[in-house]
Homo-oligomer: A and B are copies of this chain.
Amino acid sequence: MSPRTQEQIEVIRQQSKQRILEAAFELMAKNGYEATSIAGIAQKANISKGLLYNYYNSKEDLLQNMVQQAFSEGDKVMQDIVADRPDETLRNLFVWFFGELRERPEFWKLITDLTLQADKFQFARDMLYAKLNEYSRFIGDLLIQMDYENPKKESLLIGAIFDGMGLHYIVFREDYPLDEMEQFLIDKYCKKKTN
């Protein structure tokens, strides 16, 4: 007799949207953006194609929402890593990064994938550019405190190392000695006295 309340509707909406995002994430992370079809996402989410378009205006809109959500989940943690000494903070950063990579390799794969198609996905390039600058400055500050000679270049180098190792781990997985490399990096960069 009475229609659903605003709240009930909102709950339903959020559930559906979440199901769609999750399905999209799984498929796109696995197969890439282009190779993932709307039909496939809808099927995986157990809803109709039509419903998907009720919530997202286009495939790209869905992608953006998905990336945003995935990033925001990762962002929260960054605040907890600051320690008393810069070398400890840096160590925490390394640990956090490798942890992320182990936990959500598919996500990083997708991000890298999108970034490569910068022409089509400007927002991905911009997002990554912002991240890279953010990390570089953060790391640069630490390196200054640690008396490095070229803190700026060194921090860019560490950024390259992160993305390079990320790429290798994403691709080679168990064939890549991630644990050893993590330890190696920490030993290399996170001593009280630098090289």
Q: What residues of chain A have their CB less than 8 Å away from a CB belonging to chain B?
A: 30-32, 34-35, 109, 112-113, 115-120, 125, 128-129, 132, 150, 153, 156-157, 159-168, 170-172, 175, 177, 180-181, 184-185, 195
Contact = CB atoms under 8 A, between A and B. Distances in A.
A167 B168 contact: no
Given A31-B119, A164-B166, 17 more contacts: A112-B112, A113-B113, A115-B167, A116-B116, A129-B172, A132-B172, A153-B181, A156-B168, A156-B181, A157-B181, A157-B184, A159-B164, A160-B167, A160-B168, A160-B181, A163-B167, A164-B167
A48 to B, nearest CB: 8
B164 A116 contact: no
A165 B116 CA distance: 13
Nearest to A188: B157
A115 B30 CA distance: 12
B31 A34 contact: no
11 contacts: A30-B119, A32-B116, A112-B112, A132-B168, A153-B181, A156-B168, A156-B177, A160-B160, A160-B161, A163-B167, A164-B166
